[in-house]
Amino acid sequence: MSTGKGNPILRASNITKTFGNNTILHGVSVELAKGEIKILIGSSGGGKSTLLQCINCLVVPDSGEIEVDGMVIDITKKKDLYRLRQQVGMIFQDFNLFDHLTAIDNITIALRKVKKISREQATQRARQELEQVGLGDKQHLYPAQLSGGQKQRVAIARALAMDPKILLLDEPTSALDPTLVGEVISVIKRLAAKGMTMIMATHQMSLISTLADEILFMENGRIVEQGTPSVLLAKGNKSRTRGFCDSLNDLVGEEG
């Protein structure tokens, strides 16, 4: 149980989720220490997105326990879900910026409505966050006027402005043109360097090999393999993870 880094900041245990008669998660457990980065991999349909959304109850699990920073969440209570989501930021594959709001208002809206911060203070904070992701000059543009990479950086700034204790990232670079992947990767790496606690689903080898404290390999709603990259990806290791990552590298090779 112990991660060796003190009390976990996130503990999700035995999460199950069934849609209709299709069980997507069969009692999955994840623990995360402060500053730790875990990376979810596995082929499409394995349940990565569902697991991430269950962790902040955007999809409410059928059963299981969630504890964030010592706070046990009662998933039957709306109030608890709202509190949980304020602690846990979420980055989506397709950005999900609010289309009717400018980049800066995408950030201020939750600061004002959820954190009840004044408009001036919210604007100031939002501007700082946009500058952090290199978009200080784009604050007044609408999502439809931004490139995919810029949209994802606004989405990251929006999540960070809420001061989350944990960030969940669901394939943050998968919807991007190859030429725009780099700018998002470098923002994520900078976050990691600052000690942000994260769980990220990604198939980006450069993120997996450099950031992962632990890799979780998911298949059919279960974590079937987990370990550090240095062990799982070691030469000669017959792990599923290694095989999967090799196939990713082959893909990159073919494309390039």
Partner 1 sequence: MPEPISVVIEAFPYLLQGTFLTAGIVGAAMALGLILGVFMAVGLVYGNKVVRFLITLYLWLFRGVPVVVLLFLFYFGLFNYFNINVSAFTAVTIVLGLTTGAYQANIFRGAMLSLPRGQFKAASGLGMTDLQAIKSIILPQILRISIPAWSNEYSIILKDSALAFVIGAPEIMARTQFVASRTYQHLSLYITAGIIYFVLTWAGVMALRKLEKHVRIPGYSANGNQ
Ligand X SMILES: Nc1ncnc2c1ncn2[C@@H]1O[C@H](COP(=O)(O)OP(=O)(O)O)[C@@H](O)[C@H]1O
> Can you tell me which of 10, 31, 39, 48 binds ligand X, judged by CB under 6 A?
48
Q: How far is the CB of 98 from Mg ion (least distance, A)?
A: 21
> Can you tell me which of 7, 13, 14, 45 binds ligand X, judged by CB under 6 A?
45
Q: How far is the CB of 134 from ligand X (least distance, A)?
A: 28
> Can you tell me which of 17, 48, 85, 242 binds partner 1, judged by CB under 8 A?
85
Q: How far is the CB of 14 from partner 1 (least distance, A)?
A: 23
61 binds ligand X (CB under 6 A): no
147 binds partner 1 (CB under 8 A): no
- Residue 24, contacted partner among Mg ion, ligand X, partner 1, none, CB below 5-8 A by kind: ligand X
- Give the number of residues in contact with partner 1, rule: CB under 8 A: 31
Dihedral sign from CA coordinates of 136, 197, 70, 65: positive
What is the Cα–Cα distance from 134 to 132, expressed in whole angstroms? Answer: 5
Q: How far is the CB of 26 from ligand X (least distance, A)?
A: 12
Residue closer to partner 1 by CB (options 176, 215) is 176
Question: What angle do the packed helices 103-113 and 148-161 form, to 10 degrees?
Answer: 20
Q: What does the binding site for ligand X look like in residue numbers (CB under 6 A)? A: 19, 24, 44-50
